Amino acid sequence: MGFRWTLVFLALVFGFSLGSQGANAQGSSTLIEVGEIAPDFTMKGATRYGVLQDPVRLSDLRGETVVLAFFFKVRTRG
């Protein structure tokens, strides 16, 4: 069970770091309010061992706690 949570966490961090780079280019400025259901999305997953072959979907995690963490200075000199 611990490995799955690690997998989910790393997949979300990896996916959002890639997705945040293109969000402004698409002109998307819609924000989600606290408590509102997030839209379904698919992204590449990653663990400490590398990128996963199968994508991770938010809807696959329905009923589980999902934590979104943003590390904007990870692996940078900043």
Q: pLDDT tens digit string along 8-57?
A: 777 776 666 655 555 445 555 578 888 888 888 888 777 778 888 999 89
Burial class (CB in 10 A: 0-12, 13-18, 19+), 56: buried
How many structural domains are present in the chain? Answer: 1
pLDDT value of residue 43: 81
For residue 68, being part of any structural domain is answered with yes
For 43, the domain range is 1-24+38-78
Stretch 67-72: mean pLDDT = 66
Res 1: pLDDT: 56
Higher pLDDT, 59 or 14: 59
Q: For residue 53, is it within any domain? A: yes
What is the residue type of 55? Answer: P
**Residue-level pLDDT at 27:** 53
The answer to whether residue 32 sits within a structural domain is: no
